[in-house]
Chains A and B, each alone.
Chain A
């Protein structure tokens, strides 16, 4: 310790050599005419705000989806609890159980009466007081499944965090760098430098022997992160460029992107889990997937590979694969089956068409945020900008990592893995041009260089005419699509509500 931390005396300023903490080589010399339009701290603040907006949108949509799904699950859960209590009471587990069961029963009956009143009565309730008095009746349908979903989300997120996607390293063939090799030694140095600049503990470093130029960060948390770099990256990029790309990874780790991705995956997995749960009585693959997933997530010593395998099983819900034909025993349950299929339709449509957008935008905001953090860490926007150009020139994801393309610094496919399966239309990565544009605004000198293309007049006219015709048509199509989605959502909710009520009425006869 040199002196008190809060008052480094003036003389201490001369420690060290370089006044400018640039990436080693030279201080930034701005070419004339180039100005910094955006300060990287401002850019970070902007991307953080965007993250909040998108998270909120995701939360609202997931909540809506959860409400729709809980109309079916809620009554079932309630009935199962009451039934279990009743059974326990019948076995002689004391009066407490029996009383509890009776309590649930009478509560449900009373509120069911209210609810039936609400749905059946004409005219419908209009005043706010009406809604308040009937709130418990609505809550009893929604709450059990919503609480179960929230708990499931927390448990799944914890399980995914512990696994930390570490199986990705073996999947793409990562190995420990050799410190005798000059360029790998350099990589270790560069990563340590960037960890120092970010104030993070040095992450574990792995190298994948792949000709593609890419890098990826994984791990349970920022304290136990791993960075995997392809051999191609070491061969193609110079020291500064490597530093820029590594700074993107470290910046993402420091900003908590690992946790963001775990939350996003946990949201999709919770939806998938609940659908698999509904499929439970009907399909053997659902039973197997459910059992495998529960085991993998709850296991005291999680094996990342097992969690990944089990997730694949549960994500199959999104694929819409044909189910097994109903057996004779299941015929009385066919209406339930139809309902579940309807709900699954809603799930697939909503998770892809509605939830997919904010999820993808959220992850994109995190990529921009990591880019601006990389500029903060290196104080050299050119490093990342020219590195990204190299990444785009040798674009590719090492074999074995294709389905988790979204984790890499530069994604090559438009979408991948679970996000593709759940039907997200948007790519999880911003395009390289947009990223370069932002970097240029933060002061990157290079890649300025495509002059704006001038469109010839005829194409402008054609575009205008096309726009006049196509835009209203597209808007109409979008509206129709939205209407269909809304309708299917409402219908599924309504059907499942009715069925759930019938079920409850039957149990508490």
Chain B
């Protein structure tokens, strides 16, 4: 009788522990996902600075700047519509890197521009690292959801496996 009680209590404690662990993992994923959005916004806010810095330095200046402004406007319009947002963000990244790589030599010596370039680079890194953290968190969470004793708890409380942030288009390698 006492043995039964002990076993039941141990099982309950285990379920409690497993549930809490799953919740912690799931919250981490949510937080990581939010971080990606924060970093995307940060990049968008860098654009006016870059535009101001580039004025008077690049060829076909007007068209380029107009196109960047247009792409940025599209990211704002897209808001949380994921497919449109993704396309717009990708275009923004491409045109930004194109502009900075085509910059005139005298611009490369400009301190402001160098600082801005570092900021841009860091922002791209942040987006990449935020996504990496999201994927690492998803991996841990999925391992917990699918692992053998925990998966019963996960099924009972409806924890479903999360999707990785896979990259569209061609892989870089």
Q: Which residues of A does B touch, CB under 8 Å? A: 1-3, 5-24, 27-29, 182, 185-186, 189-190, 192-194, 196-199, 376-377, 379
The closest CB in chain A to the CB of B96 belongs to: A17
| B162 A196 Cβ-Cβ under 8 A | no
| A14 B167 Cβ-Cβ under 8 A | yes
Instruction: Bin the interface of chain B by size.
Output: 35 or more
How long is the Cα–Cα vector from A242 to B63 in the complex, in angstroms?
Answer: 38
| A19 B172 Cβ-Cβ under 8 A | yes
Residues of the A chain whose Cβ atoms lie less than 8 Å from the Cβ of B114: 182
Any chain A CB within 8 A of the CB of B168? yes
How long is the Cα–Cα vector from A379 to B131 in the complex, in angstroms?
Answer: 13
Chain B min CB distance to A191 (Å): 10
Residues of the B chain whose Cβ atoms lie less than 8 Å from the Cβ of A194: 129
How long is the Cα–Cα vector from A132 to B117 in the complex, in angstroms?
Answer: 74
| B34 A1 Cβ-Cβ under 8 A | yes
| A13 B129 Cβ-Cβ under 8 A | no
| A186 B118 Cβ-Cβ under 8 A | yes
| B126 A196 Cβ-Cβ under 8 A | yes
Residues of the A chain whose Cβ atoms lie less than 8 Å from the Cβ of B129: 21, 193-194, 196-197, 377
Residues of the A chain whose Cβ atoms lie less than 8 Å from the Cβ of B31: 199
How long is the Cα–Cα vector from A8 to B168 in the complex, in angstroms?
Answer: 13
The closest CB in chain B to the CB of A376 belongs to: B136
For A9, give its contact among B83, B97, B130, B171 (CB under 8 Å). Answer: B83
Interface string of B46-83 (1 = CB under 8 A from A): 00000000000000000000000000000000001011
How long is the Cα–Cα vector from A379 to B132 in the complex, in angstroms?
Answer: 9
| A2 B82 Cβ-Cβ under 8 A | yes
Q: Which residues of B does A touch, CB under 8 Å? A: 26, 28-37, 39-40, 80, 82-83, 85-87, 89-90, 93-94, 97, 111, 114-115, 118-119, 121-122, 124-133, 136-137, 160, 162-163, 165-169, 171-173
| B165 A17 Cβ-Cβ under 8 A | no
For A1, give its contact among B28, B80, B87, B90 (CB under 8 Å). Answer: B80
| Known contacts A17-B97, A24-B124; 18 further A-B pairs (Cβ under 8 A) | A2-B33, A5-B162, A8-B33, A13-B166, A15-B86, A16-B40, A16-B89, A16-B90, A19-B169, A21-B128, A21-B129, A28-B173, A182-B114, A182-B118, A189-B125, A193-B126, A194-B129, A197-B133
Chain B min CB distance to A18 (Å): 5
Residues of the B chain whose Cβ atoms lie less than 8 Å from the Cβ of A6: 26, 29, 160, 162-163
Chain A min CB distance to B85 (Å): 6
| A189 B119 Cβ-Cβ under 8 A | yes
Knowing A2-B85, A6-B29, A15-B89 are in contact, say whether A185-B125 is a contact too (CB < 8 A): no
How long is the Cα–Cα vector from A181 to B94 in the complex, in angstroms?
Answer: 28
How long is the Cα–Cα vector from A376 to B26 in the complex, in angstroms?
Answer: 20
How long is the Cα–Cα vector from A1 to B94 in the complex, in angstroms?
Answer: 23
For B90, give its contact among A15, A29, A196 (CB under 8 Å). Answer: A15
How long is the Cα–Cα vector from A23 to B132 in the complex, in angstroms?
Answer: 11
Q: Interface of chain B, helix or strand or loop or mixed?
A: helix
Chain B min CB distance to A149 (Å): 29
The closest CB in chain B to the CB of A13 belongs to: B168
| A196 B94 Cβ-Cβ under 8 A | no
How many A-B pairs have beta carbons closer than 8 Å: the answer is 146
A-B contact pairs, 25 of them (CB 8 A): A1-B34, A2-B33, A5-B26, A5-B29, A6-B29, A10-B168, A14-B87, A14-B168, A15-B36, A15-B86, A15-B89, A16-B93, A17-B90, A18-B172, A20-B173, A182-B115, A185-B118, A192-B126, A196-B39, A196-B126, A197-B130, A198-B133, A199-B32, A199-B35, A199-B137
Residues of the B chain whose Cβ atoms lie less than 8 Å from the Cβ of A17: 90, 93-94, 97, 124, 127-128
Residues of the A chain whose Cβ atoms lie less than 8 Å from the Cβ of B35: 196, 199
How long is the Cα–Cα vector from A3 to B34 in the complex, in angstroms?
Answer: 10
The closest CB in chain A to the CB of B84 belongs to: A11
How long is the Cα–Cα vector from A319 to B129 in the complex, in angstroms?
Answer: 48
How long is the Cα–Cα vector from A194 to B93 in the complex, in angstroms?
Answer: 21
Residues of the A chain whose Cβ atoms lie less than 8 Å from the Cβ of B172: 18-20, 27
| B80 A185 Cβ-Cβ under 8 A | no
The closest CB in chain A to the CB of B31 belongs to: A199
Chain A min CB distance to B126 (Å): 5
The closest CB in chain B to the CB of A18 belongs to: B128
For A5, give its contact among B33, B39, B136 (CB under 8 Å). Answer: B33
| A5 B165 Cβ-Cβ under 8 A | no
For A196, give its contact among B30, B37, B115, B133 (CB under 8 Å). Answer: B133
| A8 B163 Cβ-Cβ under 8 A | yes
How long is the Cα–Cα vector from A11 to B28 in the complex, in angstroms?
Answer: 22
| B97 A21 Cβ-Cβ under 8 A | no
How long is the Cα–Cα vector from A190 to B123 in the complex, in angstroms?
Answer: 10
Residues of the B chain whose Cβ atoms lie less than 8 Å from the Cβ of A15: 36, 40, 82, 85-86, 89-90, 127, 131, 165
How long is the Cα–Cα vector from A194 to B129 in the complex, in angstroms?
Answer: 8
How long is the Cα–Cα vector from A9 to B163 in the complex, in angstroms?
Answer: 8
Residues of the B chain whose Cβ atoms lie less than 8 Å from the Cβ of A9: 82-83
Residues of the A chain whose Cβ atoms lie less than 8 Å from the Cβ of B119: 189
Chain A min CB distance to B110 (Å): 12
Q: Which 10 A-B pairs rank lowest in CB-CB distance, beginning with the nearest?
A: A21-B132, A14-B168, A19-B167, A189-B122, A11-B83, A197-B129, A17-B93, A13-B168, A21-B128, A5-B30
Knowing A5-B29, A193-B122, A199-B28 are in contact, say whether A14-B132 is a contact too (CB < 8 A): no
Chain A min CB distance to B8 (Å): 29
Residues of the A chain whose Cβ atoms lie less than 8 Å from the Cβ of B128: 16-18, 20-22, 24
Candidate in B82, B85, B166 with the most chain A CB atoms within 10 angstroms: B82
Chain A min CB distance to B56 (Å): 23
For B131, give its contact among A1, A7, A16, A198 (CB under 8 Å). Answer: A16
How long is the Cα–Cα vector from A196 to B126 in the complex, in angstroms?
Answer: 7
| A3 B80 Cβ-Cβ under 8 A | yes
| B80 A2 Cβ-Cβ under 8 A | yes
Chain A min CB distance to B117 (Å): 10
The closest CB in chain A to the CB of B161 belongs to: A6
| B132 A13 Cβ-Cβ under 8 A | no
Residues of the A chain whose Cβ atoms lie less than 8 Å from the Cβ of B125: 23-24, 189, 193
